[in-house]
């Protein structure tokens, strides 16, 4: 935490049980700041309301599937965020993860041919494994074994990943078969809306305006709507002409009766699904571990040794959210890197995540408002938060290549493979190998060697 925050903690005193439980005043925050931070986080991750149902509807065929999946997505995100906020008391929001939903829909169900009910069972089992390992302290032991240089690199890598997400959402960076990525068409009005929002929000942040990121998202959304740059998402999840909420801002939720409780755990325990369960487990384990570690570092929660308070409880909530998500009919629920936007808005306690959870409950009715927030409006927030998180690289000893090279791989692999888990994995493997061959192997925790060996085995024998 900054010196200013520390001073405010010294002078401030908790004013009640609620404040004392969450540590609002103790962390130099206010209720108003925490709620504003929650709104900011919710806005930056509200795209999940439409993207997750769109992806999963390719695999889950039920009547009125998109709308049932939308409600399931809201329920999973609400439960995960509330659990993290109320029980673990951290400002980390959770929701069904991108990437894992694609693996669920297109690989497990689509290519491998498993029923979606069985795939949900596999997600549930992976969640149980998370909870067991977290309760036993194994997950925390792994995090503790990761050196500080890699923890700072994870934070910076997440920043680079967020920036790429923002540039992609704005249409500024696009895929290209020849060069992998390229500059998008600047004839796209969304790109200019995002650029204007980026510059405007940057000025607000430089001026230290409270709520700069939230105001930036709202202001950029208005620009996109007024200039007709935004394509509104309709009730069926498909693009529709935005007509100023002509049908109202209240949407009727569709209860996911064909999804809740329809997971098949027994079938998922079959030998043929071992690799599927392990993949769900592996990807989310290192994805969530990296995300939570990076967010905790940015929020100032890591101590001098790089350890996070209440780590066992925090990681258990991640596993519990995955189990609940599978029960209500969606793929793995996990911590979201977009939580960093709320942290930059001043969110420091579980009230921020709890606010996100409440907003996702309300989203079952108020999803038309979320649909009115374009990617171009949240893109500036993601890019700017990414820039701020990149500051962590200054703590890395770049002159020591046994520290610098693994850190660099961690940072660069995350955005280039579109995976936090891959970045963490490459960094850990490189760190262990370089230290061992450099004659400094004794400085590495034995636990980290075991993790590196398992990671190598996973890439060699269980490659997707």
Q: What is the pLDDT of residue 21?
A: 96
Cβ-count burial 78-101 (b if 16+ within 10 Å, e if not): bbbbbbbbbebbbbbbbbbbbbbb
| 3-class DSSP state of 40 | helix
Report how far apart, in Å, the C-alpha atoms of 281 and of each of 133, 284, 292, 297, 326 are: 11, 5, 16, 24, 13
Report how far apart, in Å, the C-alpha atoms of 22 and of each of 129, 194, 315 are: 28, 35, 18
| 3-class DSSP state of 456 | helix
On whether residue 11 sits in a domain, the answer given is no
Helix spans in 83-188 (H) = 100-102, 116-135, 138-145, 148-170
Domain count, the chain: 1
On whether residue 170 sits in a domain, the answer given is yes
DSSP 283-305: HHHHHHHHHHHHHHHHHT---TT
pTM: 0.80
On whether residue 9 sits in a domain, the answer given is no
* Range(s) of the domain holding residue 194: 16-461
Half-sphere exposure of 427 (CA within 13 A, CB side): 31
DSSP 179-202: TEEEEPPTT-HHHHHHHHHHHHHH
Q: What is the pLDDT of residue 244?
A: 47
Q: CA-CA distance, 341 to 43, in Å (whole number)?
A: 9
Q: What is the pLDDT of residue 211?
A: 84
On whether residue 353 sits in a domain, the answer given is yes
- The whole-angstrom distance between residue 348's C-alpha and the CA centroid of its chain comes to 16
On whether residue 4 sits in a domain, the answer given is no
Which 8-state DSSP code applies to residue 393? G
Residue the block writes with tokens 């998500």? 325
| Beta carbons within 10 angstroms of residue 117's beta carbon | 17
Q: Which residues have C-beta within 8 Å of that of residue 107, sequence separation ≥ 6?
A: 464
Torsion sign, CA atoms 63, 68, 72, 75: negative
Half-sphere exposure of 441 (CA within 13 A, CB side): 7
On whether residue 2 sits in a domain, the answer given is no
On whether residue 45 sits in a domain, the answer given is yes
On whether residue 6 sits in a domain, the answer given is no
Torsion of CA 246, 201, 413, 289, to 10 degrees: -80
pLDDT in tens, the chain (464 residues): 444 444 444 444 546 899 999 999 999 999 999 999 999 999 999 888 888 988 899 899 999 898 899 999 999 999 999 999 999 999 999 999 887 888 899 888 988 889 999 999 999 999 999 999 999 988 889 888 999 999 999 999 989 998 998 999 899 999 988 898 999 998 889 899 999 999 999 999 999 888 889 899 989 988 988 887 765 555 555 555 444 454 556 667 889 999 999 999 999 987 567 778 887 888 788 888 889 989 998 888 988 777 889 989 999 999 999 999 999 999 999 999 899 999 999 999 999 999 999 999 999 887 777 667 788 888 999 999 899 989 899 999 999 999 999 999 999 999 999 888 889 999 999 999 999 999 999 999 999 999 999 999 888 876 65
End-to-end CA distance of the chain: 40
Q: What is the pLDDT of residue 9?
A: 43
| Beta carbons within 10 angstroms of residue 196's beta carbon | 17
């Amino acid at each position: 935490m900054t010196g200013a925050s520390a001073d405010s903690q010294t002078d401030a005193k908790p004013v009640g049980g609620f404040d004392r439980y969450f540590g609002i005043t103790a962390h130099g925050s206010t209720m108003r700041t925490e709620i504003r931070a929650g709104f900011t986080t919710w806005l930056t991750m509200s795209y999940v309301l439409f993207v997750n149902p769109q992806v999963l509807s390719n695999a889950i065929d039920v009547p009125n599937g998109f709308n049932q999946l939308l409600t399931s997505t809201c329920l999973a995100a609400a439960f995960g965020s509330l659990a993290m906020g109320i029980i673990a008391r951290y400002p980390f929001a959770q929701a069904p993860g991108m990437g894992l939903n694609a693996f669920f829909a297109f690989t497990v169900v689509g290519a491998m041919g498993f029923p979606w009910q069985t795939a949900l069972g596999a997600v549930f089992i992976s969640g149980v494994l998370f909870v067991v390992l977290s309760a036993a302290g194994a997950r925390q032991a792994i995090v503790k074994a990761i050196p500080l240089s890699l923890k700072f690199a994870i934070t910076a890598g997440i920043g680079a990943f967020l920036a790429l997400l923002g540039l992609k959402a704005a249409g500024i960076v696009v895929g290209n078969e020849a060069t992998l990525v390229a500059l998008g068409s600047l004839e796209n009005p969304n790109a200019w809306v995002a650029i204007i929002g980026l510059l405007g929000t940057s000025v607000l942040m430089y001026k230290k305006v409270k709520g700069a990121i939230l105001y930036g998202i709202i202001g950029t959304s208005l620009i996109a709507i007024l200039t007709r740059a935004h394509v509104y998402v309709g009730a069926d999840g498909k693009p529709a002409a935005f007509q100023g909420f002509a049908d109202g801002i209240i949407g009727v939720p569709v209860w996911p009766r064909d999804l809740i409780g329809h997971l098949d755990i027994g079938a998922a325990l079959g030998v043929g699904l071992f690799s599927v369960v392990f993949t769900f487990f592996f990807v989310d384990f290192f994805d969530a571990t990296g995300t939570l570690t990076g967010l905790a570092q940015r929020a100032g929660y890591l101590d001098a040794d790089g350890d996070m308070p209440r780590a066992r409880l925090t990681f258990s909530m991640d596993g519990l959210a995955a189990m609940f998500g599978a029960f209500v009919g969606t793929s793995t629920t996990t911590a979201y890197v977009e939580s960093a936007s709320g942290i930059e808005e001043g969110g420091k306690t579980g009230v921020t995540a709890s606010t996100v959870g409440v907003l996702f409950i309300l989203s079952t009715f108020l999803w038309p408002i979320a649909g009115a927030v374009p990617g171009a409006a949240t893109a500036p927030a993601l890019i700017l938060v990414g820039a701020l998180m990149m500051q962590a690289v200054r703590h890395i000893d770049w002159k020591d290549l046994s520290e610098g090279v693994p850190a660099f791989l961690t940072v660069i692999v995350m955005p280039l493979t579109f995976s936090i888990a891959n970045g963490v994995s490459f960094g850990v493997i490189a760190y262990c190998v370089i230290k061992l061959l450099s004659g400094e192997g004794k400085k590495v925790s034995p636990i980290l060697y075991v993790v590196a060996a398992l990671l190598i085995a996973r890439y060699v024998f269980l490659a997707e």
